[in-house]
Structure 1
Amino acid sequence: MSSRFGSSSSAPNGAGAIGDLSHDVILASPPEDSISDLAWSSRNNFLAVASWDSKVRVYDVTQNLSGVGKAVISFDGPVFGCAWSKNGRQVAGASSDKSAKLLDLGANGAPAQQVAAHDAPIRSLRFFELPSSGSPMLATGSWDKTIKYWDLRQSAPAAVLHCPDRVYSMDIKKDILVVATAELHINIVKLNEPTRFLSAGKSPLAHQTRVVSCFNDASGYAVGSTEGRCAFQYIETKSARGGGNFSFKCHRGARDINGKMDIFTINAISVHPIYGLTTAGSDGTFNFWDKDKRQRLKGYPSVGGPISATAFNHSGKIFAYAVSYDWSKGYAFNTPGHVNKVMLHRTIDEECKPK
């Protein structure tokens, strides 16, 4: 662990400083229940928001950051994930009702269609292209311990990958799929051989995995856990910059007079399309990081509630974050007083560009 990383998200060190939230804009007409995922279109400023109210909402975010409702996909249970196709026109959601549905925004008002099914809730989904042919595909990861690959022209999965346990999080960049499951398994798949693991191992972190996010160049990934720790892992050691694999503490409070501190879950890790990445957690803060120099660039004060999901738009100029109950304390703490909103933060190079 580098001494340049701080253990408290409220006191960034090194080149970092406290960021300004005063100009952040609230998205109008948010979901009616906890927000589980955010995803931007790769072609325009359409933002998909997945929620426990059994819907994926799509907003058109205008230049002044006001959002206009554009479309809705409805499910029979809470929605855990959402994702956009590579062409930026199709959006899909993954639900606890064991289905995934897809809406084509260019299909002249045609309703969403079911495109995937599992034997248990679907936790995550990602679009990708087959390395061999460039054919568009959808991968869905489920608590039934499988990842299924779907050619959207067919009703049956094109292939099935059996995982060691329930899928908690997954991400795809280029030809690399990283999947994190229960019991701390983290496995890597080369998508030219989608039904076998390139490598299989355990998380470098000791507590439950909450999120994995791939680096843009597919050289590795970041993983966040329920114990306020993050790790950067490389698929090949020679690809690593700044000294290889490492982990560090973040999203933790200051120690009290008895030496105790509050430790918070890392709920989201979003990779900037050009620069570094962000972490966000149940402490209601987010941080911008330079992963190669192992340095926090900017930290932000609490936003008044847990941050459950984050995402950069396609240019990296807008950072969306959901302030919402994240279930880290269980059902009993999901009281009516919890805030539930999506905030839009306009980013500048000073915040996220490595020094």
Structure 2
Amino acid sequence: MFSQSGLNTSGTFGVSAVNTSSTNPMKDFEVTSPPDDSVSALAFSPATLPQNFLIAGSWDNNVRCWEVEQSGKTIPKSMQTMQGPILDVCWSDDGTKVFMASCDKMVKCWDLASNQTIQVAQHDAPVKTCHWIKAPNYSCLMTASWDKTLKFWDTRNAQPMLTINLPERCYCADVDYPMAVVGTASRGLIIYQLEGRPQEFKRVDSPLKYQHRCVAIFRDKKKQPIGFALGSVEGRVAIQYVSPQNPKDNFTFKCHRSNGAPGGYQDIYAVNDIAFHPVHGTLATVGSDGTFSFWDKDARTKLKPSEVMEQAITKCAFSHNGQIFAYAVSYDWAKGHEFYNPMKKNYIFLRPCFEDLKPRATS
């Protein structure tokens, strides 16, 4: 699968897309052969590979892989199936393997060269998140589940290296060595330090009043992880530093809300995903309102809003060099069963984004 010659990854991505219909109001590049059900996970390949690959997990039980060319064209490469909806995906640091977490209570490792899968982790309930940890003295897979446990796996062994009990079901997690953050049901927030041996660092009172939906770690100018952004179902994001220099460093902002509902009310939508730009340190949020927005947290300003898609945006991701922003448009069930329209297709769009995410110039 990885025998193709490397692409020029230094150039800018894409020129112009073709589809300009209501399904693609931003005129972005459409990924060919998208999933048949809602997209639950998106991840670009790491910088260790010369080409750009995109993987997507879906509620159709499948994980798909595409090669993304500099022109914006996507080539479907392969697909793997599990026994339940996929809830998360991640890459190994060398780009040779993809891990797939499913409602079937398992995590499988997909070896891309051989196109074979093998089970590497197991929980007593659906596995909500999986993250690969590359530490100086160990490598492992971190999985978190609705069985209220966090597990760390040496993927060569059937038993976990370490199991940590969580206060509640895991709803979201992120890893940026040496830090991990886990958000649970009942608005639990726990920070872990991963050096030497993973262990709890501290529990944090949630700055948000409603259920957590997504979390993403951010770095300082020296590229060290120092805090995280947390999104909730109530159209709000909290920026939290692990050790704030000043209490005012932590703040929350509203997003994914629409004005102009009858009676002056506001429609409020869930923040479905958050991603930080790998070069600029700015961020993207995507929501149930069918929009994405780019933000500069340091200037506390919105850099760019999007047009409204015909369905919710469920997931987003940046390519490792920050040239491409991927976002998935599919029904997220926020409005319940009666609003589900099986005639509406799922889409993954790719957008050249490097310029749009440059931080606001400070005077």
TM-score (norm 2): 0.87
Alignment of 1:117-266 (within 5 A): 117-131=122-136, 133=137, 135-192=138-195, 194=197, 196-216=199-219, 217-238=224-245, 243-256=248-261, 258-266=263-271
Letter in 2 for 1:227: E
Task: Tell me whether 1:36 sits opposite 2:40 in the alignment.
Answer: yes
Q: 2:80 aligns with which of 55, 69, 73?
A: 73
CA separation in 1, counterparts of 2:250 and 2:317?
24
CA separation in 2, counterparts of 1:93 and 1:154?
17
Question: What's the counterpart of residue 105 of structure 2?
Answer: 98
Q: 2:67 aligns with which of 49, 54, 60?
A: 60
> What is the CA-CA distance between 1:195 and the residue it aligns to?
5.3
The alpha-carbon distance between structure 1 residues 126 and 253, as it changes in their structure 2 partners (threshold 3 A), is: same
Alignment of 1:261-300 (within 5 A): 261-275=266-280, 276-300=282-306
> What is the CA-CA distance between 1:193 and the residue it aligns to?
6.2
Deviation string, structure 1 residues 146-204 (Cα, Å, up to 9, x no partner): 11101112111110111100000000012100000000001000012655321113321
> What is the CA-CA distance between 1:65 and the residue it aligns to?
1.4
Judge conservation of contact 2:326–2:349 (CA < 8 Å) in 1: yes
SS at match of 1:183: helix
Q: With CA pairs under 8 Å and 6+ residues apart, which has the higher RCO, 1 or 2? A: 1
Q: What's the C-alpha RMSD, in Å, of the aligned pairs?
A: 1.7
SS at match of 1:198: strand
CA separation in 2, counterparts of 1:252 and 1:198?
34
The alpha-carbon distance between structure 1 residues 153 and 257, as it changes in their structure 2 partners (threshold 3 A), is: closer
Deviation string, structure 1 residues 28-84 (Cα, Å, up to 9, x no partner): 001111111100011331101000000110111111111111121210010011111
Question: What's the counterpart of residue 325 of structure 1?
Answer: 331
TM-score (norm 1): 0.89
Q: 1:341 aligns with which of 332, 336, 347?
A: 347
Q: Which segments of structure 1 move beyond 4 Å, counting only runs of 4 or more?
A: none
Unpaired runs of at least 5, structure 2: 1-23
> What is the CA-CA distance between 1:352 and the residue it aligns to?
3.5
Question: What's the counterpart of residue 11 of structure 1?
Answer: none
Judge conservation of contact 1:21–1:345 (CA < 8 Å) in 2: no
